[in-house]
């Protein structure tokens, strides 16, 4: 049975009644005219950054809206997608009452944010081949389950989940399904953003930290229905995306060709790395990747991690994650870095 989604049943009581902070730049929106701004207690002398940034990041949102064929009302921007994820918790989860569902091994922040927000984290392991166990996930849902976090492509396993599995979750759960698409640009798969019109309970998060090469500016993007974005806007800090970030993000998004070229190089290098790993005795399994990293099962992860460190290569040992015993996660570097890495790997025995 398809269950009915009603956002009114999901929003936290305190958030429902909340009157959001209204900033100076919300109350008087500049149209570029030469005005004397005496409304925000700023220092009037021009340093290039003496004014508060646009709290609604209009120029940047207009660009994303055009790119995704959506309205700006379907977009919220944050200080990295980590902030966006936190806002989703705080908008919808009643502390010490509600629960969320995550599917380890997956991105660690969902669990940490659940802890910070005093929300129970119900875990349903991925299957042995790292697929979603949809029946088990739906089994875990109760009246207080507000969100299911689907990371696709998934970190640290690297694979993207099938459209049919995610669709089953969206159709059979009356809470919110967050699809975290941090690695979508490496996947060759269609983004779930294209399905927003058909799925009122879908929230898609993306980031400029991965394919866009801008981890340092902290810019996360949330795409959802206007109703969901309105709730998130109510609780976001007024100036959560700073001026420098907005400027650098605009520049980078406009340089779409450069981003595409870099993604192509990274994917080519990933294939070269996989080919090299395939021929090594200490490598037991290479998991298929739709991302800019590869999860690899080795004979002894601690030993290999240490050896790589001695050779001045830092990878991530993911062995403490469920189903990930003796695994290392390799992010794909530049062609030069990859070449060096392959030489180093071949010298290990």
Q: How far is the CB of 340 from ligand PLP (least distance, A)?
A: 23
d(CA 230, CA 243): 22
Contacting residue, 93, 126, 182, 296, with ligand PLP by CB under 6 A: 182
Say if residues 278 and 286 touch (Cβ distance below 8 Å). Answer: yes
| CA dihedral over 253, 254, 260, 265, signed as positive or negative | negative
Asked if 107 is part of the footprint of ligand PLP (rule: CB under 6 A), the reply reads yes
Residue nearest to ligand PLP according to CB distances in the complex: 80
CA-wise closest residue to 181 among 122, 222, 224, 228: 222
Q: How many residues contact ligand PLP, by CB under 6 A?
A: 12
Asked if 155 is part of the footprint of ligand PLP (rule: CB under 6 A), the reply reads yes
Asked if 209 is part of the footprint of ligand PLP (rule: CB under 6 A), the reply reads yes
Q: What are phi and psi of 264, to 5 degrees?
A: -60, -45
Q: Which helix (H) or strand (E) holds 286?
A: strand 283-286
Contacting residue, 220, 289, 294, 297, with ligand PLP by CB under 6 A: 220
Asked if 207 is part of the footprint of ligand PLP (rule: CB under 6 A), the reply reads yes
Q: How far is the CB of 118 from ligand PLP (least distance, A)?
A: 21
Tokens (6 digits) for 9 = 């049943």
Contacting residue, 151, 202, 204, 324, with ligand PLP by CB under 6 A: 151
Contacting residue, 215, 244, 258, 343, with ligand PLP by CB under 6 A: 215
Pairing verdict, β 202-207 and 220-223: antiparallel
Burial 306-339 (b: 16+ CB within 10 A, else e): ebbeeeebebbbbbebeebebbbbbebbeeeebe
Asked if 330 is part of the footprint of ligand PLP (rule: CB under 6 A), the reply reads no
Q: How far is the CB of 82 from ligand PLP (least distance, A)?
A: 4
Q: Which helix (H) or strand (E) holds 145?
A: strand 145-151
The stretch among 49-57, 194-202, 207-215, 325-333 that binds ligand PLP (CB under 6 A) is: 207-215
Contacting residue, 56, 57, 74, 81, with ligand PLP by CB under 6 A: 81
Contact residues: ligand PLP, CB under 6 A = 80-82, 107, 151, 155, 180, 182, 207, 209, 215, 220
């Amino acid at each position: 049975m398809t269950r009915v989604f009603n956002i009114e049943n999901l929003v936290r009581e305190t958030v429902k009644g909340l009157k959001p902070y209204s900033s100076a730049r919300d109350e008087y929106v500049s149209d570029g005219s030469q005005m004397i701004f005496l409304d925000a207690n700023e220092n009037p002398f021009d340093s290039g950054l003496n004014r508060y940034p646009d709290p609604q990041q209009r120029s940047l949102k207009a660009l994303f809206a055009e790119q995704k064929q959506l309205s700006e009302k379907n977009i919220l921007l944050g200080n990295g997608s980590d902030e966006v994820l936190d806002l989703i918790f705080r908008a919808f989860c009643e502390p010490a009452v509600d629960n969320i569902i995550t599917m380890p091994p997956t991105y660690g922040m969902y669990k940490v944010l659940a802890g910070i927000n005093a929300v129970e984290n119900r875990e349903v392991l991925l299957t042995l081949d790292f697929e979603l166990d949809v029946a088990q996930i739906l089994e875990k849902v109760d009246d207080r389950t507000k969100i299911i976090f689907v990371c696709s492509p998934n970190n640290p396993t690297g694979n993207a989940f099938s459209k049919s599995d995610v669709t089953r979750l969206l159709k059979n759960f009356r809470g919110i399904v967050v699809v975290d698409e941090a690695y979508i640009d490496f996947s060759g798969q269609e983004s779930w953003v294209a399905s927003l019109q058909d799925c009122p309970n879908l929230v898609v998060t993306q980031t400029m930290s991965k394919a866009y090469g801008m981890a340092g500016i902290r810019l996360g993007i949330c795409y959802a229905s206007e109703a969901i974005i309105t709730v998130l806007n109510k609780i976001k800090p007024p100036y959560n995306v700073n001026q420098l970030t907005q400027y650098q993000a605009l520049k980078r998004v406009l340089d779409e060709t450069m981003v595409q070229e870099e993604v192509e190089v990274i994917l080519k290098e990933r294939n070269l790395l996989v080919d090299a790993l395939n021929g090594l005795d200490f490598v037991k399994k290479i998991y298929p990747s739709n991302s800019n990293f590869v999860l690899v099962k080795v004979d002894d992860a601690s030993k290999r991690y240490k050896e790589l460190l001695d050779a001045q290569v830092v990878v991530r040992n993911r062995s403490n994650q469920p189903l990930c015993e003796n695994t290392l996660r390799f992010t794909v570097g530049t062609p030069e870095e990859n070449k060096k890495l392959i030489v180093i790997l071949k010298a290990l025995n």
